[in-house]
Structure 1
Amino acid sequence: MKLRRFRCWPLVLLLVLLQGCAYNSVLIAYPAQLADTKKALNSAEPKATIDKLADGINSRDGLLYAEEAGRVAQIAGDFAASKDFYQSAVQDYEKFDDKAVISLSDVGAKGSSLLVNDNVIPYRGPGYERILLHQYQALNYLFSGDMTGALVEVRRSNELQQIEQQRYESSSKTVQQMENGTVSAEMDRLSQASGNLTSSFLSAYSYYMTGLLHELLGEANDAFIDYRKAAQLAPDNPYIQQDLVRLAKALQMPQYDDFRQRWGDAPQPGANQGKVVFIVEQGFVPYKDSFGVPFTINGNWQTIALPTYRENYLTPGGDTINGLGTPLVTAPVVNIGALAITALKEQLPWILARQVARVYAKSEMARQAEGRDGQTVGSVLMQIFNVVTEQADRRSWLTLPAEAQIAHSYVNAGNYQINLLHGTTEIQVQRGKTTLVWVIDTGNVTRFYTRLI
């Protein structure tokens, strides 16, 4: 058959494009790929799938697989391995930053995305993921005994909060919201599902961790500054309020009287007491779903597939910690599910613009596949191909927790049996020192990691 008579050449071309794409989410939704990993994390063998994740680090989605592998190792308590995986992800982000010229591979990926779907584009996580990456790397350093390394990472996390916010505000001015009733209604629903969170980039969690590390290193003034930033983002958290009142008093800050009147005086440590700080992470961040917007072009049905979140994700209540004498109730410091939903809402105008361009490109290919007599086998195959490949980009860092809470208290020196969620652990408290307890609950399993500082 002569090439000029072969009306199905666009289909053959696209099938060739799909070769080599099977390793990412072109045809298989990413949440389905991570199902076994999340199941393993909720079992006695949390690292059961880590080799598979590590194998994906050399793919176009390598940044995402490095994040997932790092979090899996971290949940399992392998902080050294987690540090290496996270460093790989950090390097990938830096490569995105350093690219002054678009490479041919990027051009090919984005060009083929117009013919297939957004999953062909190499993964670059949203801003909140990059910020959390450095924060979790800080926890690796902290629980490995490197306080200085931990402080470097949380400072970078805080710096990125401002950079990502500025980048979003700048880029949002260059894209116009496209008129589409279905999409507008979905964005409104996402706003309600996230509790009308105004930014996906700013998190009290990062500022609180920086303040805590500054205080542990004896840098009270710097700690006060970061606790104030954390309080602006989590104004109802009583433990951050207590930290501000206590430091304002110790540093003789002019804000002390105002803080004390608003929140009451903060407890002070006794002569034989140490401080216990709890960081409690629960569940998994929600995964993306999709919704479709069907319409016709030149008489052919086309469908735009856009990512979304189905669940409302409002901040949950606190959990009770028993074993310290007086029950201690945690308070939310970040709702990562709400950050994820807000990030998607911020990105939807860009996603919609790409999807519209894709629909027209596919429509043109379907038109070229038609013969003189109208509908041909090639045209029908093209329409089937369009339906199969029109998949929303549902990739995101899925081993992150759904939310994090904090609590702290001064208690007498000694050993304590702690009961929280689905587990128990024994901690040691020493006079004048801080016992940091990191709790990770994945649903049926609660893991405890402690550090005496």
Structure 2
Amino acid sequence: MTPIRYRFAALLALLLASCATYSDRTGAALRDFREANFVAAEITFADRDNTHSTFLSGTEAGLVALTDGRFDTALIYFERAFGKVRSLEEAALVDPKALGKGLSTWALSEELSDYVGEGYERVMLHALWGLAYLGLGNVEDMMVEVRRSNRLLAAEERFHGSDYRAGGLATFLSAIGHELTGQLDEAYIDYKALAQLGVAESLHGPSLVRIS
């Protein structure tokens, strides 16, 4: 085997091993989460040794805190996750081709570099961040995160050349934000966009009727 092929084979073996053990490293946290043992789940996810990713640790621990109603704590975790991907996101918003950097980073395996998330995961990070702000009654900052989530989704769609439905939560939060600030025309547009995505009909259907 040539040196190049040997190194590639070693990389592939390492990648497969890391993928196979991620569920093992975080399995206890997932079980705790399902059983509403939120503090235990948060502690496990927050430990980067368990996720091998600053981005995943922040996002997953933040989601646990968010579910537990500890919105301020969730914000701290989401900020940590964002700190790892900020430069990639900024570059992607200027030129979607920059997203290739994130994909190639994962291709090297999470063991060799700090995983920066799939596109839908970064889109979801900001939607969840917005939801935490909503829980604190901070509609203005919620809308900042929602807009960023939608911009990242648009960049992902341009990069991949196709539409996908990862933006449903951000669109719904945008509609709520517009309703809370009395911008019903904008809220209607958001709910219609949600309907076009084909998701959450039980939410956007009654809402469209209510504000029509």
The answer to whether TM tops 0.5 is yes
Residue 118 (structure 2) pairs with residue 154 (structure 1): no
Of 50, 59, 62, the match for 1:67: 59
Of structures 1 and 2, the one scoring higher in RCO (CA 8 A, sep 6+) is 1
| 1:126–1:77 distance in 2 versus 1, CA, 3 Å | same
Matched with 2:211 is: 247
Deviation at 1:85, TM superposition (A): 0.5
- Say whether residues 1:203 and 2:167 are aligned partners: yes
Amino acid at match of 1:157: S
Change (3 A) 1:161 1:46: same
**2:87 — aligned with what?**
95
Is the CA contact 2:165–2:197 (under 8 Å) kept in the aligned structure 1?
no
Aligned 1:108-123 pairs, distance under 5 A: 113=108, 119-123=111-115
Aligned to 1:26: 18
* Among 207, 217, 237, the residue aligned to 2:201: 237
Identity, in percent, stands at 27
Larger relative helix fraction: 2
1:26–1:120 CA contact under 8 A, matched in 2: no
- Unpaired runs of at least 5, structure 2: 1-5, 93-100
Deviation (angstroms), 1:234: 2.0
User: Structure 1 residues 240, 51: CA separation in 2 closer, same or farther (over 3 Å shift)?
Assistant: closer
Cα deviation for residue 207 of structure 1 reads: 1.2
Structure with a larger share of its residues in strand: 1
1:227 and 1:244 in contact (8 A); partners too: yes
Task: Give the TM-score of the pair, scaled to structure 2.
Answer: 0.74
Query: What whole-Å deviation, never above 9, does each CA across 1:261-286 have from its counterpart, x for those lacking one?
Result: xxxxxxxxxxxxxxxxxxxxxxxxxx
Aligned to 1:50: 42
Aligned partner of 1:221 among 185, 195, 201: 185
1:211 partner letter = A
SS at match of 1:124: coil
Alpha-carbon distance in structure 2 between the residues aligned to 1:72 and 1:235: 24
CA contact (8 A) 2:55 2:80 kept: yes
Question: Partners in 1 of 2:36 and 2:190 — Cα distance?
Answer: 37
Structure-2 separation of matches of 1:156 and 1:135: 9
Per the alignment, do residues 55 and 234 of structure 1 end up closer, same or farther by CA in structure 2, a change over 3 Å counting?
same
Once residues 236 and 67 of structure 1 are traced to their aligned partners in structure 2, the CA distance between those partners, rounded to angstroms, is 23
Q: Check 1:216–1:61 CA distance in 2 against 1; reply closer, same or farther (3 A cut).
A: same
SS in 1 for 2:38: coil
Whole-angstrom distance in 2 between the partners of 1:202 and 1:209 = 13
Give the CA deviation at 1:203: 3.2
Q: Distance in 2 between matches of 1:238 and 1:75?
A: 21
Shift of 1:26: 3.1
Unaligned ranges ≥5, structure 1 = 1-9, 101-105, 170-197, 249-453
Distance 2:197 2:38 in 1: 33
Q: Over alpha carbons, which structure has the higher Rg?
A: 1
